[in-house]
Amino acid sequence: MAGAVNAPSVDPSQAGVPPFVGVAESVAAACEYLMSRQDAHGFWKGELRTNVTMDAEDLLLRHFLGILKPAELTEAARWISSQQREDGTWANFEGGPPDLSTTIEAYVALRLAGGGIDDPALVRARQFILARGGLEASRVFTHIWLALFGEWSWDQLPVIPPEIIRLSPSTPLNIYQWGCWARQTIVALAVVATLRPSRSLGFTVAELRTGATPSERVPVRGWTVKRGLQGLDRVLHRYERLPVKPGRQAALRRCVEWILARQEADGGWGGIQPPWVYSILALHLMGYSLDHPAVRAAIDGLEGFLIHDTGADGLPVRRLEACQSPVWDTCLAVIALVDAGMPADHPAVVRANRWLLNEQITASGDWAVRRPGLISAGWAFEFANDCYPDVDDSAEVLLALRHGTEADLPGIEQARERGLQWLVGMQSADGGWAAFDADNTSDLPLQLPFSDFGAVTDPPSADVTAHAVELLARTGHAGDQAARRGVQWLLDAQEDDGSWFGRWGANYVYGTGAAVPALIAVGIPAGSPAIQRALEWLRAHQNPDGGWGEDLRSYVDPQWRGRGASTASQTAWALLALHAADDESEAVHAGARYLTSTQLPNGGWSEDLYTGTGFPGYFYINYEMYRHVFPLSALGRYHDRFGR
């Protein structure tokens, strides 16, 4: 894939074409398409696609609980099989390298569906697994799933003591030092791992063992924090072997209370799959029956995260979303429609903003541990996630809600004021903004043997900070202290090559596409060195086809920074930066032509490659709406500049 090198960007045969020819039609078609995707309630919701561990774990959960139905098994297994590549492996994203843990989980799921060890598909998978060190070399989460079925020893896993729930928010490694996604996962897993259940798969996967040292027990060298924490884990293992552990039952009960207090209206936890499924297991193992209302709601609620589709052979498949993005999709769609010239009083915009207004959260959440006294007024990413509003969604929703009046949308002014106050209150001490928490910057959690799946804390990032700064600028607060400190944070975070890192989107193109519009909005001159270096970086990384693309390998290999096959969303992000700075180079026109020439007859775009980031290096997201909303914003702003 993606052989694009840093190349001159212009196709000479196109150089004389007036840049805006066809753009108005393209914008109109994209608007039509986007409106056709709006739900009658006013929101948009694209599919959020990740990887097959979601589907494998869904089957294992249901098998563990004894509720797996044959049709569920068949349809999920069919989806998992459809994602296997020629070499027998599974990746975590389209076109990605084979992933050992994902391949192991898919293998176990296909065996559960009746696959024999001699099936050619499983033989190929096993060859890869064994060549890469076998079961022993997988991530901790995979080991936990195997331990639930006696295929891995709980003794070989990092200890997660339930007593962690007692640690005060000022103690190292307390749950509030973890990012909220990891925090909810840990509390539930503490219960599960303490109770050490073991059910039968009905078969063994011993054929996947190599005898290698388990990944989490490979000794760390030198006198490092990491080594010290590995020592702590050994001490905890010895403690686990004691016959009596004072306060253990009370700690377990406190974990359960903590979990129950955070169950959401949809029955889930945090709007994301891991805490959801581990909380179900934790409650069930603590004696809550499948008919208990909390457990019932949790299991039933998972149905809402299922996508039912048909495979290439026309047979039904099912896959599970790791998370759902309706709030995010909706605010981005509103911004795109307005960028395309749609008036704020258009029914589609009013309906969307009314839905967004209703989604504002007034209940307190875990964020209040670091910001007590701050009045709740943020937005979350999902339909139901009241405990965990995030700054990124709040900033973009408030940008969308600029387009609405009190007459059309009663309460909008108060919602805007309070939302802004909350966002300002969530600024971290260093001047940046993170997604879910302020000052969640400890580096201890990352050093634990448990933390082998990427980000476990939530420090400020350039993309979220840029969105917050852009909001402040566009609502008349460019001169406020909060905005000024955010700008300084952004300027300090600029990479040596002129780009910004993309924490929640791939990658430097996303970070730069967020930072430049924010800095321009706040009044940094387009001619300033920081902006000029960013624009030069973008222009230098345009592909010969006029688009931009950045391979996810850029998170692990600097060679891939800014490089990769062009995609609609990444091209749009680059264009949004160039537009903000009023760049008039041929790069802008070639970029617009890339988008108009790749537009589908229905007005949308296609995008198989993943351009969303869950955890850099480990967990990636394909957001179905990105390919439609960002190009519309970019072409709409292009048309504004050149077409009128």
**C-beta of 191: minimal distance to ligand R01 in Å?**
15
Who contacts 358 (Cβ-Cβ below 8 Å, separation ≥6)?
none
**C-beta of 274: minimal distance to ligand R01 in Å?**
4
Helix (H) or strand (E) holding 310: strand 306-310
Question: In terms of Cα–Cα distance, which of 60, 227, 50 is closest to 143?
Answer: 60
Q: Which of 339, 390, 392, 463 is catalytic?
A: 392
**C-beta of 53: minimal distance to ligand R01 in Å?**
9
In whole angstroms, give the CA distance from residue 212 to residue 100. Answer: 14
**C-beta of 310: minimal distance to ligand R01 in Å?**
25
Instruction: Determine phi and psi for 526, rounding to 5 degrees.
Output: -60, -30
Kindly tell me which of 55 and 583 has the beta carbon lying closer to ligand R01. Answer: 55
Quick one: which segment of 22-30, 205-213, 272-280, 286-294 binds ligand R01 (CB under 6 A)? 272-280
Instruction: Report the DSSP pairing between strands 612-615 and 619-623.
Output: antiparallel
Among 190, 272, 565, 576, interactor with ligand R01 by CB under 6 A: 272
In whole angstroms, give the CA distance from residue 552 to residue 598. Answer: 22
First to last CA, the chain: 38
**C-beta of 464: minimal distance to ligand R01 in Å?**
7
Helix (H) or strand (E) holding 622: strand 619-623
Among 355, 537, 610, 619, interactor with ligand R01 by CB under 6 A: 619
Helix (H) or strand (E) holding 306: strand 306-310
In whole angstroms, give the CA distance from residue 550 to residue 554. Answer: 7
CA distance readout (Å), 2 to 49, 176, 471, 502, 549: 21, 40, 34, 19, 8
In whole angstroms, give the CA distance from residue 512 to residue 502. Answer: 8
**C-beta of 185: minimal distance to ligand R01 in Å?**
4
Kindly tell me which of 272 and 283 has the beta carbon lying closer to ligand R01. Answer: 272
Quick one: which segment of 36-44, 178-186, 285-293, 342-350 binds ligand R01 (CB under 6 A)? 178-186
**What sections of 85-224 are H helices per DSSP?**
100-112, 120-131, 140-147, 180-195
Active site residue 392: yes
**C-beta of 612: minimal distance to ligand R01 in Å?**
6
In whole angstroms, give the CA distance from residue 312 to residue 317. Answer: 10
Instruction: Determine phi and psi for 242, rounding to 5 degrees.
Output: -65, 145
**C-beta of 183: minimal distance to ligand R01 in Å?**
9
**C-beta of 618: minimal distance to ligand R01 in Å?**
8
Q: Does 390 bind ligand R01 (CB under 6 A)?
A: yes
Structure tokens at 318: 């099912």
Kindly tell me which of 154 and 181 has the beta carbon lying closer to ligand R01. Answer: 181
Number of residues that bind ligand R01 (CB under 6 A): 16
DSSP string, 50-83: --THHHHHHHHHHHHHT---HHHHHHHHHHHHHT
What is the helix, strand, coil percentage profile of the chain, to 5? 50, 5, 45
Structure tokens at 253: 């009960």
Q: Does 182 bind ligand R01 (CB under 6 A)?
A: yes
Q: Does 185 bind ligand R01 (CB under 6 A)?
A: yes
Q: Does 138 bind ligand R01 (CB under 6 A)?
A: no
**C-beta of 399: minimal distance to ligand R01 in Å?**
14
Among 9, 138, 273, 611, interactor with ligand R01 by CB under 6 A: 273
Question: In terms of Cα–Cα distance, which of 402, 325, 322, 411 is closest to 360?
Answer: 411
Among 42, 274, 459, 498, interactor with ligand R01 by CB under 6 A: 274
Kindly tell me which of 298 and 588 has the beta carbon lying closer to ligand R01. Answer: 298
Cα dihedral 321, 327, 329, 333, rounded to 10, equals 160
Kindly tell me which of 567 and 599 has the beta carbon lying closer to ligand R01. Answer: 567
Kindly tell me which of 179 and 562 has the beta carbon lying closer to ligand R01. Answer: 179
Amino acid at 109: A
Kindly tell me which of 272 and 444 has the beta carbon lying closer to ligand R01. Answer: 272
Kindly tell me which of 55 and 392 has the beta carbon lying closer to ligand R01. Answer: 392
Question: In terms of Cα–Cα distance, which of 31, 41, 627 is closest to 383?
Answer: 41
In whole angstroms, give the CA distance from residue 110 to residue 48. Answer: 23
Kindly tell me which of 109 and 186 has the beta carbon lying closer to ligand R01. Answer: 186
In whole angstroms, give the CA distance from residue 449 to residue 191. Answer: 18
Residues 302/320, Cβ–Cβ less than 8 Å: yes
Would you say how long the chain is, in residues?
644
In whole angstroms, give the CA distance from residue 468 to residue 418. Answer: 14
Quick one: which segment of 31-39, 248-256, 267-275, 492-500 binds ligand R01 (CB under 6 A)? 267-275
Q: Does 181 bind ligand R01 (CB under 6 A)?
A: yes
Kindly tell me which of 27 and 435 has the beta carbon lying closer to ligand R01. Answer: 435
Among 178, 489, 504, 638, interactor with ligand R01 by CB under 6 A: 504
Kindly tell me which of 103 and 185 has the beta carbon lying closer to ligand R01. Answer: 185
In whole angstroms, give the CA distance from residue 345 to residue 334. Answer: 12
Q: Does 580 bind ligand R01 (CB under 6 A)?
A: no
**C-beta of 589: minimal distance to ligand R01 in Å?**
29
Among 392, 550, 583, 607, interactor with ligand R01 by CB under 6 A: 392
Q: Which of residues 295-334 bind ligand R01 (CB under 6 A)?
A: 322-323, 328
Quick one: which segment of 8-16, 75-83, 270-278, 304-312 binds ligand R01 (CB under 6 A)? 270-278
In whole angstroms, give the CA distance from residue 117 to residue 107. Answer: 10
In what order do the strands lie in the sheet containing 612-615?
48-49, 619-623, 612-615
**C-beta of 54: minimal distance to ligand R01 in Å?**
8
Kindly tell me which of 618 and 642 has the beta carbon lying closer to ligand R01. Answer: 618
Among 445, 614, 631, 636, interactor with ligand R01 by CB under 6 A: 614
Binding-residue pattern over the window 427 to 456 for ligand R01, x denoting contact by CB under 6 A = --------x---------------------
Sites of contact with ligand R01 (CB under 6 A): 181-182, 185, 272-274, 322-323, 328, 381, 390, 392, 435, 504, 614, 619
Question: Where in the sequence numbering do the catalytic residues fall?
Answer: 392
